[in-house]
Amino acid sequence: MTKKPLYKRVLLKVSGEALMGDQQYGINVETVDRIAREIKQATDIGVEVCLVIGGGNIFRGLSGAAKGMERASADYMGMLATVMNALAMQNALERFGVPTRVLSAIPMMTVCEPYVRRRAVRHMEKGRVVIFAAGTGNPFFTTDTAAALRATEMGCDALLKGTQVDGVYSADPHKVKDAERYDHLTYMDVLAKDLQVMDTSAIALARENGIPIIVFSIHNDGGFVNVLTGDGRCTIISDAA
């Protein structure tokens, strides 16, 4: 019997790279399906879920800017990549019977709805999974900041960041064998230690609005629901460590 979830409404932030699976680029359909099944498990136990997905598997604005592209244009290209990922996730979720809406910060009415906060809240109240695409709609802001912003606007109880590892470490555990893993951190710990879990704007926004950030591995089967019920391996970032 599944335990009762600790949160009623959450935002799940997934990097674009997480959708690549074992590919070097693009969208791995099997990986998207697996993440969609995780989300369905969460909705099945009564959790309202919304998502922000990055675009790094297709195009990353900072990388384009580093190669000489004008930064704002590169960032807009990155936002379009997040729309592609959002549509892929919507397709997977709906194949599993999960009602879903994609809301884009950049209006593109032929493929998805424009982002309107009240409309997004209403979708969630009706039990739909809402996928927020195109970041904040502004260049120079990451999808991490978009996740913190949308979590605040939706009145989420927590922001869950699905990563490549099972929490926050003092260094990349794939490169540093004795990297320290943290169970709990304060927002200020993250900033002071420069842990780069999320960018500083996202951390500050979550801190100002009292939204805990929970970092866990998106690659562990059942990991999302386990974290929601308090059983999963994760790092919790909040005011009290």
What is the C-alpha to C-alpha distance for residues 125 and 123, in angstroms, rounded to an integer? 5
With respect to residue 196, please indicate whether it lies within any of the assigned structural domains.
Answer: yes
Residue 177 annotated as binding? Answer: no
Indicate whether 24 belongs to any domain.
yes
- 28 marked as part of a ligand binding site: no
Give this prediction's pTM: 0.95
Residue 62 pLDDT: 80
55 is in an annotated binding site: yes
Q: What is residue 174's predicted lDDT score, i.e. its pLDDT?
A: 87
Looking up residue 81, the CATH number of its domain turns out to be 3.40.1160.10
Report the candidate in 76, 42, 26, 54 with the shortest Cα–Cα distance to residue 156.
Answer: 42
**Confidence (pLDDT) at 2:** 63
Side-by-side strand order, sheet with 184-186: 113-114, 100-104, 129-133, 48-53, 9-14, 158-163, 213-217, 234-238, 184-186
58: amino acid identity, one letter: I
Give dist(CA 218, CA 21) in Å, integer.
Answer: 11
Q: What is the mean pLDDT of each run of 10 residues along the chain (241 residues)?
A: 87 96 94 97 97 95 85 95 98 98 97 98 97 97 97 98 94 91 96 93 97 95 95 93 55
Within-domain flag for 168: yes
Binding site annotation covers 97? no
Tell whether 215 is in a known binding site.
Answer: no
Count of domains forming the chain: 1
Indicate whether 75 belongs to any domain: yes
Does residue 3 lie in a domain region? no
Strand partners for 163: 217
Q: Which two tokens stand for residue 115?
A: 């982002």
Domain of residue 228: give its range.
9-238
